[in-house]
């Protein structure tokens, strides 16, 4: 049985549970339960505070953890990064009152900075020879300059709307963060086998992200031109149709270029274009 620690609430919790569901790991919903076992996969989920996850994995309380890179970097626990998951993206940035001109990072020298991430901030400032007074705050860091508690803040930024509402501006991006799958370095071979199966499922989900399966009817004399505009994974599948001079073309398209490519296909005579979502894709 593999134990994975995940955040108990918030956006990272929601996206983690969605990933597990898409990986066909069924969990019984249970309110106020710290440990939930899957009904169809040898894994159990331990719900913790996000800042407790790195230590729980490093000490073996959990075998795996899904945690923000910001928390992993802040705690500096002896756990290894197994996979970058690509969701819950944000950045850790320095911000200051928007009405003050920013000359560069030296502005922070001798200033008071409020943050929930003192380790990352201290490393960043020390590397640049800046000595600031760091005030550790949990909670609403962004209000600190407005109430006179600090001159600036160092905090998570997603859209930046919270900074704007507190009359702050982002001036230095210190690190970018995303969800990580981290692991205990002392896992048994049996647990590593379960982990490999879990990674196989997660990779299949990731490979299908933003992909569409496209089927179309095409005139045979235009097939070579149609293939030339298809950026599929490999060569598309071509099958003859009952109607003389026509064939069926099957391929996979990236959603980002979908409409651009569909327009080109129609111009080349493709008809009856059918677009289907892809749930999993095994590479």
Distance CA 198, CA 195 (A): 5
Sign of torsion over alpha carbons 90, 93, 99, 103: negative
Specify the pLDDT at position 232.
Answer: 57
DSSP 255: G
For the chain, domains (ranges, CATH) are 2-87+178-207 (3.40.190.10), 90-177 (3.40.190.10), 210-277 (3.30.70.120)
Burial readout 153-169 (b: 16 or more C-beta within 10 A, e: otherwise):
bbbbbeeeebbeebebb
Prediction pTM value: 0.86
Query: Cβ–Cβ contacts within 10 Å for residue 135, how many?
Result: 16
3 state SS of 59: coil
- Spans of the chain, pLDDT less than 70: 30-31, 232-234
What distance, in Å, lies between the first and last C-alpha atoms of the chain? 27
Specify the pLDDT at position 234.
Answer: 66
Query: Cβ–Cβ contacts within 10 Å for residue 234, how many?
Result: 7
Sign of torsion over alpha carbons 159, 165, 171, 176: negative
Question: How far, in whole angstroms, is CA 5 from its chain's centroid?
Answer: 16
List the one residue out of 255, 262, 264 whose CA is nearest residue 225. Answer: 264
What is the layout of strands, in order, in the sheet containing 237-240?
A: 237-240, 246-254, 211-219, 271-277
């Amino acid at each position: 049985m593999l134990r994975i620690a995940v955040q108990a609430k918030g956006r990272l919790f929601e996206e983690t549970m969605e990933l597990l569901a898409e990986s066909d790991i069924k969990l019984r919903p249970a309110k106020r339960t710290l440990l939930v076992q899957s009904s169809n996969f040898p894994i159990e989920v331990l719900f913790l505070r996000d800042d407790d996850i790195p230590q729980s994995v490093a000490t073996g309380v959990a075998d795996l953890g899904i945690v923000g890179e910001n928390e992993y970097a802040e705690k500096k626990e002896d756990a290894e990064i197994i996979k970058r998951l690509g969701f819950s993206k944000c950045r850790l940035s320095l911000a200051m009152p928007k009405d003050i001109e920013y000359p560069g990072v030296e502005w922070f020298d001798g200033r008071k900075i409020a943050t929930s991430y003192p380790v990352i901030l201290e490393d960043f400032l020390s590397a640049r020879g800046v000595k600031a007074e760091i005030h550790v705050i949990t909670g609403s860091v962004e209000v600190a300059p407005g109430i006179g508690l600090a001159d600036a803040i160092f905090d998570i930024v997603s859209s930046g709307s919270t900074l704007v509402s507190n009359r702050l501006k982002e001036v230095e991006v210190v690190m970018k963060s995303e969800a990580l799958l981290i692991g205990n370095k002392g896992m048994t071979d049996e647990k590593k086998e379960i982990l490999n199966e879990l990674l196989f499922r997660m990779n299949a989900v990731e490979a299908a992200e933003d992909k569409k399966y496209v089927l179309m009817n095409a005139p045979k004399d235009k097939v070579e031109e149609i293939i030339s505009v298809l950026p599929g994974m490999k060569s598309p599948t071509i099958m003859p149709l009952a109607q003389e001079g026509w064939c069926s073309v099957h391929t996979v398209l990236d959603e980002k270029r979908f409409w651009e490519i569909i327009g080109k296909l129609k111009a080349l005579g493709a008809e009856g274009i059918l677009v289907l979502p892809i749930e999993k894709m095994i590479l």
